[in-house]
């Protein structure tokens, strides 16, 4: 039986346990320059001190135009490296491996930051405005931006990177048939729709080296689980070491649903199903509302996934992983409909004021 405190080594990087911190953006920390500030460093240091085996730093823009907003973290220029080096140091000093999620918003671009652009000319956040369809030169340029950001991440000391390939952003837009209407080598079948990210992965393996951990946070359903696994297979062929599974743009698989007799939800089940497929080949994680110690133990001890990604649980209580490992009390996430750790309100999380409960 696998235990939560069992280490796991992914392409040479050892995680001391099976609990990882999912990337959660701190919108009101960074300034317009996209640089790391002391709040970022303290935020990740607390989660490393709290026992996470791996920390994935929040979605970080690879170009200024790919930000969610003007207060979004970036790695698009060399002047941003030093701050990231401080995050890495804070995590490593407290025993946590650390990677960083690289992202571009694509057709969902904030107009205050840059133009909406993507695989096809489809509606943007303003339905009356169509995104610009990226031509071959723009695709290559965007891939260059991802690679350059990853090289900066390596220089900062990160153990690896995660490509943000889900939640409706640029890489996800390339794999979804709703947003990718292309008829060239980047559209059509699964291999072509995965090509944008696969080409990035191949370049990263060459330019960042064999020992650099390459992860993709991928859509577990696009539009069904089988199609999403086809896409993930392309990522693995291209050099992906670790699949962290979440949601995408489409949701048309009737077999994906909550079930009363299991302690995890439908979104978590996507990671479970990916793990069934990739078992023994590539480590797989699941995510979403894993806020109970018992759920963490169930998923790991029954070998349903290799690791669990924790979001709200470690926002509510940075020491949640230690509470799971030591079977002690923790501040429980209230599972608010709109997370109170979200944009503009990082100090209003009600769990921080509540009495701790036994794990």
Q: Report residue 344's pLDDT band, with 50, 70 and 90 as the boundaries.
A: low
Percent of the chain with pLDDT over 70: 96
Residue 271 has pLDDT above 70, yes or no: yes
Pick the range with the lowest mean pLDDT from 43-47, 203-207, 333-337. Answer: 333-337
Q: What is the pLDDT of residue 336?
A: 85
Q: Report residue 312's pLDDT band, with 50, 70 and 90 as the boundaries.
A: very high
Domains of the chain: 8-353 (3.20.20.70)
- More confident site: 127 or 179: 179
94/233 Cα distance (integer angstroms): 34
Q: What is the pLDDT of residue 335?
A: 85
Residue 343 has pLDDT above 70, yes or no: no
| Radius of gyration of the CA atoms of the chain, in A | 19
The pair of three-digit structure tokens given for residue 235, joined into one six-digit string: 């990522």
Interval 12-39: pLDDT, tens: 999 999 999 999 998 889 999 999 999 9
Interval 182-227: pLDDT, tens: 999 999 999 999 999 999 999 999 999 999 999 999 999 999 999 9
Stretch (H or E) spanning 174? helix 170-175
Q: What is the pLDDT of residue 339?
A: 80
pTM score, whole prediction: 0.96
Residue 356 has pLDDT above 80, yes or no: no
176/227 Cα distance (integer angstroms): 10
**Cβ-count burial 110-145 (b if 16+ within 10 Å, e if not):** beebbebbbbbebebeeeeeebeebeeeebeebbeb
Contacts of 34 (CB under 8 A, 6+ apart): 61, 64, 67, 72, 73, 74, 75, 76, 80
Mean pLDDT taken over the chain? 95
Pick the range with the lowest mean pLDDT from 162-176, 251-265, 276-290, 345-359. Answer: 345-359
Interval 94-119: pLDDT, tens: 999 999 999 999 999 999 999 999 99
- 3-state percent breakdown (helix, strand, coil) of the chain, nearest 5: 35, 15, 50
Residue 191 buriedness (CB in 10 A; 0-12 / 13-18 / 19+): middle
* Strand residue runs (E) in the chain: 8-10, 13-15, 19-21, 54-61, 97-103, 117-118, 132-133, 160-165, 213-219, 242-246, 284-287, 307-310
Q: Report residue 143's pLDDT band, with 50, 70 and 90 as the boundaries.
A: very high
């Amino acid at each position: 039986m696998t235990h939560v405190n069992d280490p796991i080594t992914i392409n040479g990087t050892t995680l001391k346990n099976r609990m990882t911190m999912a990337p959660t953006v701190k919108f009101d920390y960074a300034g317009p320059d996209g640089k790391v500030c002391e709040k970022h460093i303290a935020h990740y240091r607390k989660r490393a001190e709290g026992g996470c085996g791996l920390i994935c730093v929040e979605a970080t823009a690879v170009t200024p135009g790919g930000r969610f907003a003007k207060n979004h973290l970036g790695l698009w220029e060399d002047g941003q490296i030093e701050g990231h080096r401080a995050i890495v140091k804070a995590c490593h000093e407290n025993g946590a491996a650390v990677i960083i999620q690289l992202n571009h918003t694509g057709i969902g671009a904030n107009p205050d930051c840059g133009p909406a652009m993507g695989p096809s000319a489809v509606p943007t956040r303003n339905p009356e405005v169509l995104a610009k369809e990226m031509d071959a030169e723009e695709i290559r340029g965007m891939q260059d931006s991802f690679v350059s950001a990853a090289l900066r991440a390596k220089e900062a000391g990160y153990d690896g990177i995660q490509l943000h390939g889900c939640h409706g952003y640029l890489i996800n837009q390339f794999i979804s048939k709703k947003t990718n209407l292309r008829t060239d080598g980047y559209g059509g079948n699964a291999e072509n729709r995965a090509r944008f990210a696969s080409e990035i992965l191949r370049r990263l393996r060459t330019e960042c080296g064999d020992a650099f951990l390459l992860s993709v946070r991928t859509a577990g359903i696009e539009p069904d689980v089988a199609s999403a696994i086809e896409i993930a297979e392309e990522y693995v062929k291209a050099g992906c070491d670790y699949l962290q599974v979440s949601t995408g743009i489409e949701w048309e698989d009737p077999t994906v649903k909550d079930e009363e007799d299991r302690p995890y939800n439908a979104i978590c089940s996507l990671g479970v199903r990916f793990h069934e497929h990739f078992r023994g080949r590539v480590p797989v994680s699941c995510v979403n509302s894993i806020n109970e110690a018992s759920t963490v133990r169930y998923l790991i001890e029954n070998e349903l996934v290799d690791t669990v990604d924790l979001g709200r649980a470690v926002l509510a209580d940075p020491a949640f992983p230690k509470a799971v490992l030591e079977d002690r009390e923790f501040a429980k996430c209230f599972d608010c409909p709109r997370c109170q750790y979200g944009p503009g309100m990082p100090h209003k999380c009600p769990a921080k004021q509540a009495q701790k409960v036994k794990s």
